[in-house]
Every structure is written in structure tokens, then in C-alpha cells.
């Protein structure tokens, strides 16, 4: 059985936006936007404090699934992903930013830990056939989000660079 | 003068001795090359040296220290009840536990950052007999840095981490069971 993204499975019963799927000869990416209420119910059920929830509700959550469909190693490095919207850069906060924010708010360690496990790692190497993922958090926007992402390939990252582009990602919104 | 038959017998004996010796030597060389055993799909080599030690309580309140469990292979499994693949995988971990003797392979489960009640209810609901250690604040999991949940590590009898598996696996499948049997055989 292929590894599946834990969060995907947990909130799969909830209504979700249609995923954006990008396929190249080497990899497959799936982007699924989660609304504020979807994410809040997941975190609320895990006992997250209200102060944490109110911050999270203001964000744009995208669940990303990545599958290496090639026969060589592929490297995910989120620092090589550039998001923009309406012609302006959209800053994705590093997981350390969230760590510091929660620490400054004295959020219990167990909640900090659970939160981190729902994020996609900053760097990850994918062996042939591997599928892994997690969440990316962006500032909320109603406009379309453009992403340009590059992936190094090969054991020492010296293979061909894979570039993917999309301008079809949207943040999910709850029904009024 | 000795008969040709005598020389034939001597030659035959020499061949048999050579064959037996080479087979013995090759079995030794397999035992010495545990790192060269290719893992099945889903498991990857993960040589990080000595396993980071920890002491945690299980759901019965008993203390467990990883470094005291040397002398057998350890299957160290990080999980959480909110993780769908963890839930699906758990019965297969139970079956793996049923297949091996504890002095060959010990299953050590570590729950990440959940409370005792949640874990107890979860394990009872999926009807497994496995116990789990409680990493209540998630800090042991942070040290081990699994790539995601669930993640399992195979630690050799010397206490060295050797393999990592990410995502749910059907651990009682022949390919995994045979692989683990080979690992156990190399350390005997």
C-alpha cells in the first residue's frame, strides 16, 4: 500500500474543493484546498486552544500530495516553490515561523507537535514510487494562486531539474 | 603403487570438503553483509548510527527504555489515532507481532502527542492487543524526526537504526516477513 497523507484520510469525509492535479513523466502533484471550517474542525477535535484556532481560521490551507512516478530520486525543497496571486508574491511561512509563534503563545507542546505533523516537510527525498505529502499554509486570498516549483533529481541532486507551473489553485471558502 | 581408484576417492573427498567449506564461508559472508540486504518496496536504508534513547511509559504505566531492549531487532513504530493510514496499518502490525517471538523482533509503538484516554479507546476500538508508549508532549517523536505518520524504524540488536518505512504497510506480507527473517538470521 502506498503511503497516504494522514490528514487527507482524516478529513476525507468533509466537503473538499476539486483537487488540482499536475502530472509530468516524473511526478504527480495533487493540490486540495481546505476551508477554514474544515481545518478548524480537525484541530478543534484534537483539543487545540481557541487562540490557536482563531489564527488558523484566517489561513489558506492546501493539502499537497506528491508521488514520484519516475525511476530516480526526486527532491522536494519548499524553498524552491514560489507562490503569487494577482501579480504579487504570496509568502508561505516556514514551519519554524509557526513553531516560534506557538511557542510565544505558550501553546501546549502536544498541540504544537500535532500541528507540525500536519505540515508537509520543508525538504524530503522521494524514492521511486513513494507518495507523501501534507499541508501548506498561505495567507488567504480570493484570487487565483500561481505556483512555480522546481525539483532536483538524482542521488546527489545533479540530475535534470523538473519545473511545474499552475495558476489554477484557489483557497477554499466555507459556504456563507 | 596406489590404484587409480584411490586417487579418485581422494579427489572426490577434496571436492566435497571444498563445497562444504565454500558454502560455510558464503553463509558467514551473508551474515557480515546485513547492510547489503535490499529491503522490499516501502522500506529504505536509514543508517543514522545509534538509536536516540528515550524512556516513556506505556498505557499501563510501565516504564520502557529503548537502550535496555538490545539483543533483538526492534520495530519502532510512531503513530497517532487521527492519522488514517495509522489506523489501517495497526492490524497488520498486530499480525507481525504474532508472527515473531519477542526475543527475535520486539514491536515498540510510540503514540505521538495524544492523551491516554484517546489511545486506550482507539486501541480497544480496532481490537488489537498491542500496547503503546505515550509520547504525551511529542518530544521523543521530535527527536526521532519521522518523515510523517505512520513511520516505522528497524533497529538492529546492537541498537543501531538500519531501516525506515513511511506510510502504512501490510507488514505480514511475505516480502516483509521474509526480509525481517533474513535480518534476524544475520544477527544470530
Distance CA A54, CA A36 (A): 10
Any idea how long chain A is? 176
Please give, rounded to a whole number of angstroms, the shortest distance from the CA of A91 to a CA of chain B.
Answer: 24
- pLDDT of residue B30 exceeding 50: no
- Is the domain of B5 the same as that of B83? no
| Mean pLDDT of the region B44-63 | 96
pLDDT tens by residue, A38-55: 999 999 999 999 999 999
- At B27 the pLDDT is 45
- Is the domain of B24 the same as that of B109? no
Of A6, A109, A127, the CB nearest to B137: A109
Q: What is the CATH number of the domain that holds B91?
A: 3.40.30.10
Chain B residues whose CB is inside 8 A of the A130 CB are 166
Cα distances from B3 to residues B7, B13, B15, B16, B17, in angstroms, run 7, 16, 19, 21, 22
Do the beta carbons of residue A76 and residue A159 sit within 8 Å?
A: no
- Is the domain of B174 the same as that of B97? yes
Using a 10 angstrom Cβ sphere, with 0-12 exposed, 13-18 middle and 19 or more buried, the burial of residue B46 is: middle
- pLDDT of residue A13 exceeding 60: no
pLDDT tens by residue, B121-143: 999 998 899 999 999 999 999 99
- At B36 the pLDDT is 75
Could you give all domains of chain A from N- to C-terminal order, each with its CATH number? 20-169 (2.60.40)
- At B10 the pLDDT is 73
pLDDT tens by residue, B153-180: 999 999 999 999 988 899 999 999 999 9
- At A10 the pLDDT is 42
What is the residue-averaged pLDDT of chain B? Answer: 87
Can you give the residue range of the structural domain that contains B98?
Answer: 35-186
For chain B, the domain total comes to 2
Q: What cell does B126 get?
A: 480496532
Distance CA B57, CA B81 (A): 18
Do the beta carbons of residue A34 and residue A59 sit within 8 Å?
A: no
| Mean pLDDT of the region A136-160 | 97
What is the residue-averaged pLDDT of chain A? Answer: 90
Q: Which DSSP symbol is given to B16?
A: H
- Is the domain of B16 the same as that of B40? no
- Is the domain of B99 the same as that of B162? yes
Question: Could A132 and B148 be called an inter-chain contact, meaning their C-beta atoms sit closer than 8 Å?
Answer: yes
Cα distances from B150 to residues A22, B37, B112, B116, in angstroms, run 26, 23, 10, 18
- Is the domain of B39 the same as that of B75? yes
- At A121 the pLDDT is 94
| Mean pLDDT of the region A111-133 | 93
Question: Could B148 and A130 be called an inter-chain contact, meaning their C-beta atoms sit closer than 8 Å?
Answer: no
- Is the domain of B45 the same as that of B113? yes
- Is the domain of B64 the same as that of B2? no
Q: Is the pTM of this model over 0.90?
A: no
- At B20 the pLDDT is 53
Residues within 8 A of B (CB atoms), A 112-171 only: 112-114, 117, 121, 124, 127, 129-132, 134
- At B188 the pLDDT is 77
Q: What cell does A133 get?
A: 505529502
Cα distances from B173 to residues B106, B111, B115, B170, B176, in angstroms, run 18, 24, 32, 6, 6
- At B8 the pLDDT is 67
- At A143 the pLDDT is 96
- Is the domain of B90 the same as that of B156? yes
Q: What cell does B168 get?
A: 502504512
- Is the domain of B71 the same as that of B4? no
- Is the domain of B92 the same as that of B62? yes
Q: What cell does A37 get?
A: 471550517
- pLDDT of residue A24 exceeding 80: yes
- Is the domain of B114 the same as that of B81? yes
Q: What SS3 string covers chain A?
A: CCCCCHHHHHCCCCCCCCCEEEECCCEEEEEEEECHHHHHHHHHHCCCCHHHHHHHCCEEEEEEEEEECCCCCEEEEHHHEEEEECCEEECCCCHHHHHHHHHHCCCCHHHHHHHHHCECCCEEEECCCCEEEEEEEEECCCCCEEEEEEEEECCCCCCCCEEEEEEEECCCCCCC
Q: What cell does A65 get?
A: 500530495
Amino acid at each position: 500500500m502506498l503511503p497516504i497523507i494522514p490528514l487527507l484520510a482524516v478529513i476525507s469525509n468533509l466537503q473538499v474543493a476539486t483537487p488540482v492535479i499536475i502530472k509530468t513523466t516524473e511526478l504527480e502533484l495533487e493540490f486540495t484546498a481546505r476551508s477554514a471550517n474544515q481545518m478548524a474542525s480537525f484541530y478543534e477535535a484534537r483539543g487545540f486552544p481557541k487562540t490557536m484556532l482563531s489564527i488558523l481560521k484566517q489561513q489558506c490551507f492546501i493539502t499537497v500530495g506528491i508521488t514520484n512516478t519516475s525511476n530516480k530520486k526526486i527532491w522536494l525543497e519548499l524553498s524552491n516553490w514560489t507562490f503569487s496571486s494577482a501579480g504579487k508574491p504570496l509568502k508561505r511561512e516556514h514551519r519554524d515561523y509557526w513553531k516560534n509563534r506557538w511557542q510565544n503563545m505558550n501553546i501546549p507542546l502536544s498541540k504544537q507537535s500535532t500541528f507540525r505533523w500536519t505540515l508537509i516537510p520543508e525538504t524530503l527525498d522521494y524514492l521511486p514510487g513513494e507518495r507523501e505529502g501534507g499541508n501548506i499554509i498561505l495567507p488567504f486570498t480570493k484570487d487565483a494562486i500561481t505556483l512555480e516549483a522546481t525539483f532536483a533529481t538524482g542521488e546527489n541532486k545533479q540530475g535534470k531539474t523538473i519545473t511545474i507551473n499552475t495558476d489554477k489553485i484557489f483557497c477554499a471558502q466555507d459556504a456563507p | 603403487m596406489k590404484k587409480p581408484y584411490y586417487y579418485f576417492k581422494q579427489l572426490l573427498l577434496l571436492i566435497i570438503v571444498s563445497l562444504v567449506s565454500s558454502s560455510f564461508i558464503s553463509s558467514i559472508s551473508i551474515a557480515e553483509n546485513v547492510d547489503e540486504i535490499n529491503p522490499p518496496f516501502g522500506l529504505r536504508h536509514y543508517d543514522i548510527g545509534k538509536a536516540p534513547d528515550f524512556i516513556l511509559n506505556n498505557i499501563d504505566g510501565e516504564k520502557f527504555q529503548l537502550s535496555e531492549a538490545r539483543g533483538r531487532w526492534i520495530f519502532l513504530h510512531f503513530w497517532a489515532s487521527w492519522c488514517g493510514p495509522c489506523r489501517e496499518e495497526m492490524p497488520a502490525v498486530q499480525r507481525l507481532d504474532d508472527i515473531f517471538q519477542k526475543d527475535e523482533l520486539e514491536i515498540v509503538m510510540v503514540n505521538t502527542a495524544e492523551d491516554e484516554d484517546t489511545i486506550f479507546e482507539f486501541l480497544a476500538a480496532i481490537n488489537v492487543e498491542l500496547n503503546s508508549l505515550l509520547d504525551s508532549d511529542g518530544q521523543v517523536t521530535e527527536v526521532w524526526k519521522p518523515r510523517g505518520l505512520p513511520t516505522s524504524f528497524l533497529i538492529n540488536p546492537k541498537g543501531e537504526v538500519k531501516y525506515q518505512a513511511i506510510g502504512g504497510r501490510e507488514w505480514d506480507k511475505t516480502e516483509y516477513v521474509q526480509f525481517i527473517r533474513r535480518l534476524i538470521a544475520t544477527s544470530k
